[in-house]
Structure 1
Amino acid sequence: MDLLIIAVLGILAIAAASQLSDRIGVAPALILLAGGTAVGFLPFIPAIELDPQVVLEGVLPPLLFSTAVSISTINFRRELVPVAVLAILLVPLSAAVIGAVLTLLVPGLSLAWAIAMGAILSPTDAVAISIARRLGVSQRIITVLEGEGLLNDATALVVLSSAVSAAASGGVSVGGVLGGFALAVLVALGVGWLVGEASLRVRSHITDPTVDTVVSFTVPFLAAIPAEHMHGSGLVAAVVAGLITGHRGPRMLPPAHRVASRTNWHTVELTLEGLIFLVMGLEFFGIVEKVGASALGVVRAIAVAVIAGALTVVIRALVVTPMLKLLSHRTARWAIHWQENAEAIHQFQNRCSAIVRGEAEMPPVPWDRRPFAQVQRKLRQATNHESIARRARSLSSRVRRRGADLDYFAAEPLGTREGAVIVWAGMRGAITLAAAQTLPITAPHYSFLLLVAMLVAAGSLTIQGLSLPALVRVVRPAMAGPADEEEKAAVILLLVNAARDVASVGTRGASQHTAPTGAAGPGASGAQTTTSTPGLDKVSPTAPDPENNESLSPTTEQHGLVRRQGNDVVVSPAAVAKAWTDPTWRHDDLAPMRERALDIIRAQREALLDAGDEGLYSADSLEHALNRLDFQEIMLTSEPH
C-alpha cells in the first residue's frame, strides 16, 4: 500500500510540474529535480536507491524509441555528419581528457577508473533536450541535439565497459575497444531494423487501435533485449526500431492506429521523463550521506564536479566550433558545384521524365560522379522499359533530394549563434546517473564518484537549463517559425494535383465529382461547414476546381447536401443528418462518395510522403498536412453510433 501511495503521489507531482512549468517558465524536469531533492532531505523520508538496470533496461528504451519515432528521418539523415561527430568522436575525447584531469584531482584513482568516470560524464541526454525544444529554436538545432542524445550512449557505454575491464584486468587494447564498439553498433542496427520492420508488418494486420498501441509498447523491449544478449547496444537497437517505425508507419499503419499510439506514447513519455528526474532528486540525499562519512568529503566532490562539468562544456565547444566551420565549407562547395551544373541537371531531369513517358532511352549523367555513372551503366544494361523507367525515377528522385538538401542547409545555416546553443544545450541527465551506478562496488571511492556524477548531471540540468533561455535571447539563433506562404501554396498544389489525378482516373476523363468529407455521418448542428485541406482551411482538395467549371455531384445537389459558395464547397450537416435516415441513400449514394474521398485522401498522403522522402518541404508542414489527412480519414471510416 505504501508503494502504491508513493506511485500515485509521484504521478500527481509529474502532472503538477507539467502544468506549473507553463506559468513560471521553467522546464518540468527542473521542477521535479528540485522538488525531489527537497523531499529527499526531509528527515522522515528514508534514503532511496534505484537499481540502475531499471533505468537502462526499463525506462530509457521506451523513451529513446518514442523520441526516434517522432524525429524527422529526412532531417536526421541530413544531420548525420554532425550527429556522428558529437556522438562518436566527442564522447571518447571527453572521456580521455576528463579522465586525465580526474587522476590529478582524486587521490588513488588510476587512469583506467578515471577514464571510466569520464565516459560516464560525457554523453548528453536525449530526455534533457525537451528543455531546448520548449524555447522554439530552429529544427536543425533540435535534430542535432536529439540525434546526438539518441546515439552517444552506445559510445559511452562501450568506453565505460572497456575502461572497467582495463582497470580490473590491467590492460586493454585500442583494437578491442574499437571492435567492441563496432560489434555493439552493428548488432543494434541489425536487430533494430529487423524488429522495426517485423513489428510494422504485424501491426498492419491488427484491426483494433487499442491492441495496436499495446503491441507498440513492446517494440522497444523486443529490440533492446535481444541486442543486449548478442553483445549489442540495446538502447541503439530501440532507437533504430523507432526510426523505422516513424519512417514506415504512415505507409503501413491505419491513421486511427497512429493517432491513438501517438497520444498514448506522449503520455508514457511524460510519465517516464518525470519519473527519471524525480527519482534523481530523491536519490541525492542518500548519496550525500554516504560521501559525508568518507575521507574525501562532500566539499571535494563539489569541487571535482564543478571542474568536470566545466571541462565537458569547454571540450564540447572546442569540437563544435571547427565542426560547424567544416560543415559550412562543405555546404558552400556543394552549392557551387550545383550551380555550375544547373543546366546539365535541368536537362537530366527532363530526360528522366522522357524516359518514364517512353520517349527516350537513357539519361545523361549531370556530372561525373561514381554513383550516377553506376546507375547509367545499369540503365544501359536494362532490357525493358519498366526497369529503365523505375531506375530513372529513382535517379531523378536522388537529384531532387540533393537539391532539397542544399535548400535546407541554405535556409537554416548552423553558424556561431546556433553553435553556442548546441554547446550549452548539451546537458547531462539520466544516462549519466544510470551509467555511474553500473560501476562495480569495488571501484575506488565508489560513493564519491557516484556523487560527482550526480552533481554534474544535476548541475548541468539546473545551471544550463535555467540559463539557456537567457542565452537564446542574447545570441539570437535561428528560431523555428511557421512555414512561409510559398511553401504552403506548394503543399496545397501538391494535394490538389493528387486529388485531380484520382478524380480523373475514376471518371475516365469525364467531369470530376466531389465527395464531401462531412458526409461520413450525421451532424448534430444545423450550421453549415466548409470542407478544408490539410494545408489551408480555405481550399478543399477533394472539391472540384471552380475555375474549370466542374459540376458537383448531382446526387449531393439533389439532396441539398452541398452547394457552392464562391470558391468553396459548403456542406450542410442538417441535410446530411436527414439523408442519413434513408438506407438506400447510404448504400447507393453515400458509399461510393465516401470511397472516392478515401481514395483521394490516400493518394494525397502518398504524395506527401513521397515529397517528404525527397525533402521537398519542411518536416513541420508535412506533419501538419499528414495529421489533417489522418483525421479526415478517421472521420470518413468511423461509423456513427
Structure 2
Amino acid sequence: MEQVLVLVVLSLLGIAASHALSPRLGIAAPLLLVALGVLASIVPGMPTIEVEPEIILSGVLPPLLYAAAVQIPATDFRRELRTISGLSVILVLISTALLGVFFHWILDLSWAWSLALGALVSPTDPVATAIIKRLGVNPRVTTVLEGESMLNDAVALVLLRAAVAATAAAVTFWSVSWVFVSALTVAVIIGWLVGLLNLWVRSYVRDTTVNTVITFTVPFIAAIPAEMMGASGLVAAVVAGLVTGNGAAHVLGPQHRVADRQTWHALELVLEGAVYLILGLELLGVIEDVEARHQGVGRAVWIALAALALSLIIRTAFIIPLMGVLRRNAVTADEKRERIAADQAQLADLSTPPPLTILDRVSIRLRPGRPEEELHRRIRVRLLRAEADATYQVSTRLGWRDGALLVWSGMRGVVTIAGAQTLPSDAPERSLLILVAFVVAVVSLGVQGGTAESLVKILKPDPGQTPQQRAEERAKLQEMLGAAADDAIDQVQAEGLELDERGERLAVIHAQREVLLDARSVGVFTSSTLEASMRELDAEQIRLEL
C-alpha cells in the first residue's frame, strides 16, 4: 500500500513539474510526461505498471471530454458544427475504411480485424489538442480541433465495437450502420437530458462545496446509462458538458461557476498528466512482449509509421476541399449580409409583412393568438444572429496556413492506445496490434506535437483579431454595458426602491449580465471578449456578496 501511495505522490509531483518546466524548455508537457514515464519504467525496482484500458475509457475520458465541452463556447461550436461533424464523422469513416484496406494488405488480417485497427488509428487525441491551444493560433482553428477531438474518438470507438462484433458473427452493412446511428442518437438524447437535469438540480443547491461534488458525477451519470443502452458514453458526456456550459450562466451563481472552472482545470491537469505518464510507463513492456512473441519490434514500427503517414495523407486530402468549402462559405456569407439587411429593413417597415421562415409559419398556426410584437422580436433576434454569423464567416476566413495547421494538428494519442488494449485476447497478433497503436500514438505526439510550435512560427497563420480590433470590440461592449447600467439605475429609481450603494451595484451587475447573455446568444461579440467581461462581473459580484 505504501508503494502505491509513493507512486501516486511522485506522479502528481511529476505532472506539476512537467507543466511548470514546459514553458521554459519549449517542450509540450505531454511529451515531457511520456519521456518521464519511459525513464521511470527503467528505474531498478520499478513495478510493472498495467492499467486496465476500461479505466481510461470509462473513468478518465468522460470527465476529460466533459471538462472540454463545458468550456467550449456554445456559439463557436454551433458555428463550426458542420466542419466539426465532417472531421469527426465523415473523415473517421473514410480513414477507418482506407486504413483497414492497408492493414488487410500488409498484415493479412481478416476485414473485420483490419477495420478494427483502422478505427483505432483514425481518431485525433482530445488531450493532444491542448498543445495547439497554447500556441496562440486563430481561435476558430482551436474550436474546430477541440470539437473534432471531443467527438471523433467516440465515433471511432463505436466503429471499433462494431468491427470486433463482426469478427464473432455475421453482420451486414445495414446492421452496422444502424448500430452506429442509434448509438450516437441515443447518446445525444441522454447527454442532453442529463445536462438539463444537472442545471436544474444545481440551481437549488446553495453550498458551493456540495455543488462541486455534484459536478464531479455529471459525466459519469451521462456516460454510464448510455453505455448500458449500447450507446456512446463519451458522446453523452460531451453533450452533457455542452448543455451545462451553455446554461450555467443562466442558472448558477458566480461562486459556483468560478469553483467549477478552477476545479475542472485542476482535474484536467491531473487526468491528462496521468494518461501520458501511463503511456510512457507501459511502452517498454509492450515492446518486450512483441519482441518475445513476434518477429521483433522493427516490423511493428515500420507498419505504424506507414499507417501514420497514410492517415496524414488522408487527412490532407479531406481538408484541402474542406478549406475550399469554407472559403466559398465566406464569399456567400458576404452576399447573405445584403439579403439580411433587406429583411431587417422590411421588418422595420410596419406597412409590409415581416420575412417569415417555415418555422415561423408553423408557429403562427400552432399559436394563432401570439402577439405580433413577440413574433417580430423573434424574427429580429434571428436576423441579428444570422447577420453575426455571416460577419463571423467573413471576418475570420481560414487560409491555407490554417489548413496546414489543421492537418498537422491531427495527433493520435490516448484513445488509440486505450482502445487497442480493449481488443479481445483471441485477437490475431494482439500484441503486435497493440504495439502498432502505441507507436502511432507516440510518434504522432513526438513528431507532430514536438514540431507544432516551430510550424506555427514558420507558417505565421492569422491569429484572429488584432490588438486594435480587440480594443475596439472591448470599447463597444463597454458602451453597451454602460447603457445597461444606466437603464438599471433608472429602473430602480422608477420603482422607488431604496438601495444602498452595494445593492444598487448588484442590480447593475445583474442587468449587465443579462446583456452579456443576450449578446452571447446572438453572437455579436467574440467569445473571448464576452467571457472576459463575464468573469469581471462574477469577480465583482463575489466581492460584494462576501
TM range (shorter): over 0.9
One-letter amino acid of the counterpart of residue 445, structure 1: E
Q: Which has the larger radius of gyration?
A: 1
How far is 1:266 from its partner?
Answer: 0.7
Unaligned ranges ≥5, structure 2? none
Q: 1:472 aligns with which of 432, 449, 456?
A: 456
Task: Look up the match of 1:168.
Answer: 168
Q: 2:535 aligns with which of 622, 627, 633?
A: 627
Q: Distance in 2 between matches of 1:381 and 1:176?
A: 38
How far is 1:476 from its partner?
Answer: 1.6
The percent of aligned pairs where both chains have the same amino acid is 42
1:460 aligns with 2:444: yes
Q: Distance in 1 between matches of 2:447 and 2:368?
A: 65
1:637 aligns with 2:541: no
Secondary structure of 2:293 counterpart:
coil
Give CA-to-partner distance per residue, 1:385-439, whole Å, 9 cap, x none: x633223222211111111111111121122110100010011111111110111
How far is 1:627 from its partner?
Answer: 0.0
Q: Distance in 1 between matches of 2:167 and 2:240?
A: 34
Task: Look up the match of 2:49.
Answer: 48
Confirm or deny: 8 A CA contact 1:203 1:253 kept in the other structure.
yes
Tell me whether 88-97 or 171-180 shows the greater mean CA deviation. Answer: 171-180
Tell me whether 150-159 or 309-318 shows the greater mean CA deviation. Answer: 150-159
Confirm or deny: 8 A CA contact 2:340 2:383 kept in the other structure.
no
Task: Look up the match of 1:338.
Answer: 337
Confirm or deny: 8 A CA contact 2:346 2:352 kept in the other structure.
no
Give CA-to-partner distance per residue, 1:24-48, whole Å, 9 cap, x none: 1111111001111122133432332
Q: Distance in 2 between matches of 1:444 and 1:155?
A: 24
Q: Distance in 2 between matches of 1:167 and 1:631?
A: 56
One-letter amino acid of the counterpart of residue 106, structure 2: L
How far is 1:373 from its partner?
Answer: 4.5
Task: Look up the match of 1:88.
Answer: 89
CA 1:263–1:362 in structure 2 vs 1: closer, same or farther (change >3 Å)?
farther
1:392 aligns with 2:390: no
Higher helix share: 2
How far is 1:327 from its partner?
Answer: 2.1
5 Å matches for 1:404-483? Answer: 404-481=388-465, 482=467
Secondary structure of 2:411 counterpart:
coil
Task: Look up the match of 1:544.
Answer: none
Q: Distance in 2 between matches of 1:389 and 1:596?
A: 31
Q: Distance in 2 between matches of 1:244 and 1:205?
A: 18
Task: Look up the match of 1:505.
Answer: 491
Q: Distance in 1 between matches of 2:117 and 2:11?
A: 31
Secondary structure of 1:454 counterpart:
helix
1:604 aligns with 2:512: yes
Confirm or deny: 8 A CA contact 1:158 1:177 kept in the other structure.
no
**TM-score between both structures, scaled by the size of structure 1:** 0.82
One-letter amino acid of the counterpart of residue 122, structure 2: S
Give CA-to-partner distance per residue, 1:106-142, whole Å, 9 cap, x none: 2x42221111000000001111110001111011000
Give the CA RMSD over aligned residues. 1.8
Task: Look up the match of 2:314.
Answer: 315
Task: Look up the match of 2:21.
Answer: 20
Task: Look up the match of 1:520.
Answer: none
1:375 aligns with 2:373: no
Give CA-to-partner distance per residue, 1:219-256, whole Å, 9 cap, x none: 10111011111111101111011001110000100001
5 Å matches for 1:141-152? Answer: 141-152=141-152
Confirm or deny: 8 A CA contact 1:125 1:429 kept in the other structure.
yes
5 Å matches for 1:216-227? Answer: 216-227=215-226
How far is 1:330 from its partner?
Answer: 2.5
5 Å matches for 1:142-221? Answer: 142-169=142-169, 171-221=170-220
One-letter amino acid of the counterpart of residue 230, structure 1: M
Q: Distance in 2 between matches of 1:377 and 1:153?
A: 38
- Would you say how many aligned residue pairs link Structure 1 and Structure 2? 543
Q: Distance in 2 between matches of 1:376 and 1:475?
A: 49
How far is 1:104 from its partner?
Answer: 2.2
Q: Distance in 2 between matches of 1:296 and 1:628?
A: 61
One-letter amino acid of the counterpart of residue 595, structure 1: G
Q: Distance in 2 between matches of 1:342 and 1:256?
A: 40
Q: Distance in 2 between matches of 1:96 and 1:12?
A: 42
One-letter amino acid of the counterpart of residue 478, structure 2: I
Q: Distance in 2 between matches of 1:474 and 1:69?
A: 32
Task: Look up the match of 2:386.
Answer: 402
Q: Distance in 2 between matches of 1:154 and 1:11?
A: 28
Confirm or deny: 8 A CA contact 1:362 1:376 kept in the other structure.
no
One-letter amino acid of the counterpart of residue 294, structure 1: R
Q: Distance in 1 between matches of 2:352 and 2:545?
A: 44
5 Å matches for 1:547-586? Answer: none
Q: Distance in 2 between matches of 1:604 and 1:236?
A: 34
Q: Distance in 1 between matches of 2:235 and 2:210?
A: 26
Q: Distance in 1 between matches of 2:361 and 2:117?
A: 52
Q: Distance in 1 between matches of 2:69 and 2:456?
A: 25
Tell me whether 211-220 or 386-395 shows the greater mean CA deviation. Answer: 386-395
Q: Distance in 2 between matches of 1:448 and 1:362?
A: 71
How far is 1:379 from its partner?
Answer: 4.8
Confirm or deny: 8 A CA contact 2:128 2:413 kept in the other structure.
yes
1:347 aligns with 2:255: no
How far is 1:346 from its partner?
Answer: 3.1
CA 1:18–1:374 in structure 2 vs 1: closer, same or farther (change >3 Å)?
closer
Give CA-to-partner distance per residue, 1:120-167, whole Å, 9 cap, x none: 000011111100011110110000000001111221112111211222
One-letter amino acid of the counterpart of residue 77, structure 2: F
One-letter amino acid of the counterpart of residue 57, structure 1: S
Q: Distance in 1 between matches of 2:143 and 2:513?
A: 24
Confirm or deny: 8 A CA contact 2:294 2:432 kept in the other structure.
no
Confirm or deny: 8 A CA contact 1:65 1:238 kept in the other structure.
yes
Q: Distance in 1 between matches of 2:430 and 2:523?
A: 49
Q: Distance in 1 between matches of 2:313 and 2:44?
A: 39
Q: Distance in 2 between matches of 1:383 and 1:165?
A: 52
Give CA-to-partner distance per residue, 1:504-559, whole Å, 9 cap, x none: 1111299xx9xxxxxxxxxxxxxxxxxxxxxxxxxxxxxxxxxxxxxxxxxxxxxx
Q: Distance in 1 between matches of 2:517 and 2:359?
A: 27
Task: Look up the match of 1:59.
Answer: 60
Secondary structure of 1:293 counterpart:
helix
Secondary structure of 1:140 counterpart:
helix
One-letter amino acid of the counterpart of residue 438, structure 2: M
CA 1:212–1:498 in structure 2 vs 1: closer, same or farther (change >3 Å)?
same
One-letter amino acid of the counterpart of residue 410, structure 1: V
- Which structure carries more relative contact order (alpha carbon 8 Å, separation 6+)? 2
Q: Distance in 2 between matches of 1:10 and 1:348?
A: 64
Tell me whether 611-620 or 202-211 shows the greater mean CA deviation. Answer: 202-211
Tell me whether 468-477 or 482-491 shows the greater mean CA deviation. Answer: 482-491
Q: Distance in 2 between matches of 1:58 and 1:509?
A: 53
Q: 2:501 aligns with which of 580, 587, 593?
A: 593
1:3 aligns with 2:1: no
How far is 1:67 from its partner?
Answer: 0.3
Q: 2:482 aligns with which of 490, 493, 496?
A: 496
Q: Distance in 1 between matches of 2:6 and 2:372?
A: 66
Task: Look up the match of 1:305.
Answer: 304
5 Å matches for 1:276-287? Answer: 276-287=275-286
**TM-score between both structures, scaled by the size of structure 2:** 0.96
Q: Distance in 2 between matches of 1:250 and 1:64?
A: 20
1:104 aligns with 2:89: no
Give CA-to-partner distance per residue, 1:449-505, whole Å, 9 cap, x none: 000100000110110001111111122212145552321121011101111111111
Task: Look up the match of 1:38.
Answer: 39
How far is 1:364 from its partner?
Answer: 2.3
Task: Look up the match of 2:129.
Answer: 129
